[in-house]
Amino acid sequence: MKNIEIEQKYKIKNPAAIRKALKRLGAKRAGSGLEQNEFYDQRGRLRQKRLTLRLRKYRGQGKLTFKGPRKAGLGKLSKRVEVESSVAFAQIRRLLELLGFKKWLSYSKTRETWELAGAEVVIDHFPRFGWFVEIEAAHARRIRQLSRALGLTPDQAVAESYLAMQLRA
């Protein structure tokens, strides 16, 4: 059971070019739709420790995710503990509330999910922030390979999480 998330986010202007490159590389589109994200905490205890508890709904499926703090010294690459489980969205939302967790932030975005040779590539769009690509793989080396193959450059890399962007806005 792998509980480490390794990913890199890139700010892009032309999602059509990324889609074209993904198709050329043989990626399979796994789906698209509106993604709803809700963040929960108990009196700021998780945030104080740089921990995240997120409830997500995407393509009719619920997921509860715990994320630990990012590992330091990796530049714009994100590596951290991540444990997630498929859940019944409405029931888990109610359970979190009954356990004393409060929703402190929520946001929605559109997401396209692609699968490519053991990696997941997503194209995200926020009306306020624009277009992004995230590449998640088991090894940073694979992320670098795919980013080059997709025509992404290091200056497009973004260290800031979507959560941090929402808090800054």
Provide the 8-state DSSP code for 128.
T
> Where are the domains positioned within the chain?
4-168
Contact indicator for 61, 86 with CB cutoff of 8 Å: yes
Tens digit of pLDDT for each residue in 26-63?
999 999 999 999 999 999 999 999 999 999 999 999 99
List beta partners, residue 67.
52, 82
113-139: per-residue pLDDT in tens?
A: 999 988 999 999 999 999 999 999 999
Report pTM. 0.93
Question: Token digits for 28?
Answer: 């399979």
Question: Cβ contacts of residue 145 below 8 Å, gap of 6+?
Answer: none
Whether residue 1 is predicted with pLDDT greater than 80 in this model: the reply is: no
Report the percentage of the chain scoring pLDDT > 90.
Answer: 91
Report the length, in residues, of the chain: 169
Distance CA 23, CA 109 (A): 23
- Residue-wise pLDDT for 65-77, tens only, equals 999 998 877 888 8
Topology of the domain covering 4-168: Hypothetical Protein Pfu-838710-001 (2.40.320)
